[in-house]
Structure 1
């Protein structure tokens, strides 16, 4: 299917082994694209994966730690997570919506 309507895709846990994220996910041949929603004070515990990841903040403030660097990303910001770097995120002061794009790991998306 060449077009996916996120509003019509099922919402589920994304990365449930390490994250509280909820949202629809599209898996391509090599990429995972997800619209992620975090409730205030929730996020993803420290983890790493062998491929890089880009996280675009759509709304809200997302506190993040990538390696040793900590910051708060706001709407319009893109967080770049290099391969094999430990990282974590948490919604700060309210809910957050973000777009995450990363390579599949061993042909699989984030655990659901």
Structure 2
């Protein structure tokens, strides 16, 4: 089915030796689509991974580090973490944190410490679970860390003052293109519709506000706040909304570069 809600999925500990994060995981062909959740004052230690990471908070605030750039990130700001960039995301002390967390599948979902060499194979979710069960983590691999700390450009994009701010007068569709994937914010206050015979890329939409009628392939649903729409590459899809019920949603998509890598080499193990 192309329609999901995060609460329908079991939460797993992604990297328990480095982070308090728990998340449901929806796996596409090219992207991992997750909702990282952290308690006040907790989060991840400095770490890195070879996949690109897209972050968009929907609850709370992030004490964020990318490279050496430290900021407090609020709802409405998107963070693009380049491959191998050192980073850390922690909840502020004043509340719980939840953020959309999207990685490409050139590597697994699990990261490694900033001072650790990358293992020959991506750590798996099963390995993370074994850490939870036994409390033991394998010794750091030999070799030098590949974490990038210096020379990382500004990775923060303020798209909204808040997720609850009133709609502006005009339709707005903003895309931010990364190396392997893209993040989009759609604000549709005046009614809108699209109809595509075949999706050019894999896509996921997350409804932030409002409702719309959505069809993917032969499946249709009226989607609303918190609903997720998964659109496989090549699938027919269409959607529409009305001026009486304006819609705001976050979108992500793979790009041709990522698809070529995965199609030729296959995804890393989760």
TM-score (norm 1): 0.89
Number of residue pairs aligned between Structure 1 and Structure 2: 111
Measured after TM superposition, the shift of residue 4 of structure 1 is 2.3
| CA RMSD after TM alignment | 1.5
Measured after TM superposition, the shift of residue 23 of structure 1 is 2.2
Specify which structure has the bigger relative contact order, considering alpha-carbon pairs within 8 angstroms and separated by 6 or more residues. 1
Measured after TM superposition, the shift of residue 105 of structure 1 is 4.0
Measured after TM superposition, the shift of residue 99 of structure 1 is 0.6
Which piece of structure 1 moves more, 14-23 or 64-73? 14-23
Equivalent positions of 1:1-112 (< 5 A) are 1-93=1-93, 94-106=95-107, 108-110=108-110, 111=125, 112=128
Going by fraction, where is helix more abundant, 1 or 2? 2
CA–CA distance in structure 1, aligned partners of residues 89 and 82 of structure 2: 15
Which piece of structure 1 moves more, 11-20 or 50-59? 11-20
SS of corresponding position for 1:51? coil
CA–CA distance in structure 1, aligned partners of residues 49 and 74 of structure 2: 24
**Runs (4+) off by over 4 Å:** none
CA–CA distance in structure 2, aligned partners of residues 91 and 99 of structure 1: 14
Q: Which has the larger radius of gyration?
A: 2
TM-score (norm 2): 0.39
SS of corresponding position for 2:19? coil
Going by fraction, where is strand more abundant, 1 or 2? 1
